[in-house]
Amino acid sequence: MLFNSFEFFVFFPIVAALYFLLPYRYRWILLLVASYFFYMWWKVEYAILLVISTVVDYVASHKMSQCVTKRQKRKWLWASIITNIGILFAFKYFNFFNGALRDLFVSNGANYPIGALEVILPMGISFYTFQTLSYTIDVYNDRIQPARHFGKFALFVTFFPQLVAGPIERAKHLLPQFDQNFDIDYVRIVSGLKQMLWGFFKKLVIADRVAEIVNIVYNDPTSYDGLTLLLATYLFAFQIYCDFSGYSDIAIGASRVLGFDIMQNFRLPYLSRSIREFWSRWHISLSTWFRDYLYIPLGGNKVLKWRWYYNLFIVFVVSGLWHGANWTYILWGAMHGMYLVLALWFRSFWEFIDRSIGLSSEQRVYRWFNVAITFHLVLFGWLFFRSNNISDAFYIIKEIGSMRFEMNSTLKLMDKIGPGIFVVTLVLSSIFIIVDPFIDKVCKGEKRFEGPVLNYLFYASVLMLTLLFGHFGEAEFLYFQF
């Protein structure tokens, strides 16, 4: 089920009403049934994957708790890892690696007998796989005790607000909340609804409107000039931000309505002053997952310098692969890994330059210069992320570099979109860029409007704009494909 669907606008109020009407001890059952219903609305048979992952990890965690030595525990940990990664590989990566092998064999004149699997990528498989893997790894490392209640553990795996696109929660944070009795709290519920509304605005008014322009241009890049391709690249940066952070806002807001606290996933990432800071603000639940379960186990920065650089680079290559079975994602991850390695490599040099010319990181001009540089490095990465293949990416780079402008190219795009919609999309996107830094903090309770009138006026305006300009075509969220 999509958040931006009519079905969800019926489903969520019913679930919320029943949740507060039911006695506390039965609420987990309602949420578990609702979560499976939410997922099975998309494809019923793929719910079996959730069941397999839940049963294997529950059993593995309890078996680990009965083991005396790490060696005994390790076999159960590997049972969990192999099961979860095996499912992920079969549905998401088999055809990619199998296709690469086929191309290698064919290029050398050999036959390759293994065909592709005819499967559909299960929605959100990378998210719930990583969430449940973090649980078994934490049990193995004695960070948490195994969940005693199978039903509540199943709810942790399938909790519908964040099931298919995160945030990727940790058992230590979310599981204990299923034992709490949340009463109706008007302030909390209104706060959750406000964050949901802002998330719907991001998705329906900005991301889905901008997507029309981006998809037309990027799906046929040879038909457009360099400036149009550059415009589409800038727009994609805000499409992916509004689409994914919009989903996170809806998930966090819906959870808050029910009383649950799930982690923030975005903190104004395009205001970052370095790539390192960007990754502390963008998809926080994933970047911290890789930090805790891959980067640190590899040795982190507690190793020789060359190994430290290797650890950073390999983590981001894996992160790229996590996003999708395509060379464009792998190259995107490798680029970010290289950004971080080069930043460390040249850190002393840049610090020397800063001291020599008397620049301070607190000076406003210097801060915004760093923000601009960081944003455009991220933008360059998004170009590969969005391109359908590597060839398209390099063609787009070449055309943007030429700065070629053809009026026919712009007119062609406006004709496909519609001149009015094209202008409105650009205007609304520009307004969003200006107001988002403030509204983002308002939704998170870090700032507030002065006076109730301004508060009601703003959210009434957001609701009106969403109803008037929202794209209600039930477009999937971008990260569902990951």
Which residues are tagged catalytic?
323
286 phi/psi in degrees, rounded to 5? -80, -45
What's the helix, strand, coil split of the chain in %, to 5?
75, 0, 25
Please report, as a single letter, which amino acid is at residue 402.
S
CA distance 278 to 280: 5
Which amino acid makes up residue 346? F
Closest CA to 333 of 285, 275, 273: 275
* In contact, 240 and 478? CB cutoff 8 Å: yes
Distances, alpha carbon 35 to alpha carbons 39, 157, 388, in Å: 6, 10, 33
Comparing CA positions, the residue from 263, 264, 251, 244 lying closest to residue 192 is 251
Neighbours of 2 (CB within 10 A): 19
Query: CA triplet 477, 481, 482: central angle to 5 degrees?
Result: 110
- Exposure string of 198-215, with b = 16+ CB inside 10 Å and e = fewer, is bbbbbbbbbbbbbbbbbe
Supply 286's token pair: 């994933």
Amino acid type, 240 = I
In Å, what is the CA distance from 168 to each residue of 76, 257, 334? Answer: 22, 19, 22
> Between the CA of residue 454 and those of 366, 446, 448, 458, 466, what are the distances in Å?
34, 17, 10, 6, 18
Tokens of 183: 């009463």
- Strands, E assignment, 270-335: none
Give CA–CA dist 135/147, Å, rounded. Answer: 9
Q: Residue type at 106?
A: V
How far apart CA 218 and CA 224 sit, in angstroms, is 9
